[in-house]
Amino acid sequence: MQEQLTAIREAATGALNQAETLAALEELRIQYLGKKGELTAVMKGMGQLSPEERPLVGQLANQVRSEIETALDEKKNALEAEAANAKILNETIDVTMPGKRSGKGKKHPLTTVLDDLKDIFTGMGFTIAEGPEVELDYYNFEALNIPKDHPARDTQDTFYIDENVVLRSQTSPVQVRTMEQQKPPIRVIAPGRVYRSDAVDATHSPVFHQVEGLVVDKGITMADLKGTLEVFVKKLYGEETRLRFRPHHFPFTEPSAEVDISCFNCGGEGCRICKGEGWIEILGCGMVHPRVLSGCGIDPEEYSGFAFGIGLERITMFRYGIDDLRLYFENDIRFLEQF
């Protein structure tokens, strides 16, 4: 039995020295020290020895086990260190190599046009006003001369949070809040996101942007509105751009109008963009309704004002020849790189 133990020690030592992987090392551990291993099998036969032989053989068996375990640990540490060194070599970064140039972002076309609008109107003395996107029904409708039973509410496709709270369907509530907090003269624009329950397609989205304008002072007339909008469209689309007003109806303005511009693509001769008409609708406007003024604590006998609302996506589509509203919100880098 002593000869068997000595043979196991020599065989195990030789095999461990030849092991090249951690998996091979684990197989050797099982072969020699496992429950069914060679050393365990020898030790199970110790019951057949005489009382005098057992201590000697037991001592030798423990010594062999200890030597094999020590050799296993040393070989395991060596293989792990070797694997770590190989990984480090493979993952070494050559700091002298040139770096990869990262792509630079560009302004979104909506942001570019909005910045241009802000520059145009602030250049005319307007300031920028902001308001909440989650709005009270009062400010979104009632204060704008649209009571709860008004048919105009049916055309708004509003997102209601509850009976009295909505996602604003226009930025006009900012005008009301401004008139409540500030007395004339008032000259503001209110850009921001608005929400309507529209199905998504090439020309509709449940989320879009508006820029509302408001001027309130003594002696404000439709001529002032027309002059302001003429300056705006000429700066945005060029000095040759012509303007026309068409009668319309909005509950919060009286009189009201829709504004067309001569087609920037064909100059008014008729083309695919203007559908052969030579004119393109860009915004709605009008004189602020006396009820809206009085509701905000402004005397309509002393003051008058005008307001207008611009769809940011619409004028951006015209400016860049974009034919699908969904492109604005898909974050496709191929689209955004063009601007």
Averaged pLDDT, 309-331:
89
Q: Which of 211, 230, 170 is nearest to 311 (CA)?
A: 211
Q: Residue 199 CA to chain centroid, in angstroms? A: 21
Does residue 326 surpass a pLDDT of 70?
yes
- How confident is the model at residue 66, as a pLDDT? 83
Averaged pLDDT, 254-282:
83
Greatest alpha-carbon pair distance for the chain in Å reads 126
Q: Percentage of the chain surpassing pLDDT 90?
A: 44
- How confident is the model at residue 278, as a pLDDT? 85
Residues 172-204 have pLDDT tens digits of 999 999 999 999 999 999 999 999 988 888 878
- How confident is the model at residue 226, as a pLDDT? 95
Higher pLDDT: 101 or 143? It is 143
Beta pairing partners, 209:
193
- How confident is the model at residue 283, as a pLDDT? 93
Does residue 303 surpass a pLDDT of 90?
yes
Does residue 259 surpass a pLDDT of 90?
yes
What mean pLDDT value characterizes the chain? 86
Q: Percentage of the chain surpassing pLDDT 70?
A: 95
d(CA 234, CA 204): 27
Does residue 3 surpass a pLDDT of 80?
no
- Is residue 280 very low, low, confident or very high in pLDDT (cuts 50, 70, 90)? confident
What strand order describes the sheet that includes 159-162? 134-136, 165-167, 159-162
Averaged pLDDT, 264-279:
77
- In order of 48, 257, 284, 285, 287, the CA distances from 226 in angstroms are 116, 11, 12, 10, 11
Does residue 156 surpass a pLDDT of 70?
no
Q: Which of 284, 212, 290, 279 is nearest to 249 (CA)?
A: 284
- The C-alpha angle 145, 249, 275, rounded to 5 degrees, equals 140
Looking at 3.20.20.10, 3.40.640.10, 3.40.630.30, 3.30.930.10, the CATH number of the domain 109-336 comes to 3.30.930.10
Beta pairing partners, 306:
215, 287
Winning range, highest mean pLDDT, from 100-109, 116-125, 270-279: 116-125
Averaged pLDDT, 10-25:
80
- How confident is the model at residue 214, as a pLDDT? 97
Does residue 304 surpass a pLDDT of 90?
yes
Q: Where are the domains of the chain?
A: 2-90, 109-336
> At residue 271, what are phi and psi to the nearest 5 degrees?
-155, -175
- How confident is the model at residue 256, as a pLDDT? 96
Burial status of residue 287 (CB atoms within 10 A of its CB: 0-12, 13-18, 19 or more): buried
Averaged pLDDT, 108-112:
93
Winning range, highest mean pLDDT, from 17-26, 58-67, 94-103, 248-257: 248-257
Residues 200-216 have pLDDT tens digits of 888 788 999 999 999 99
User: Judging by DSSP bridges, how do beta strands 159-162 and 165-167 pair with one another?
Assistant: antiparallel
Does residue 39 surpass a pLDDT of 90?
no
- Is residue 47 very low, low, confident or very high in pLDDT (cuts 50, 70, 90)? low
- How confident is the model at residue 86, as a pLDDT? 83
- How confident is the model at residue 332, as a pLDDT? 86
- How confident is the model at residue 80, as a pLDDT? 86
d(CA 155, CA 336): 33
- How confident is the model at residue 244, as a pLDDT? 93
For residue 100, how many C-alpha atoms fall within 13 Å in the half-sphere facing its CB? 2
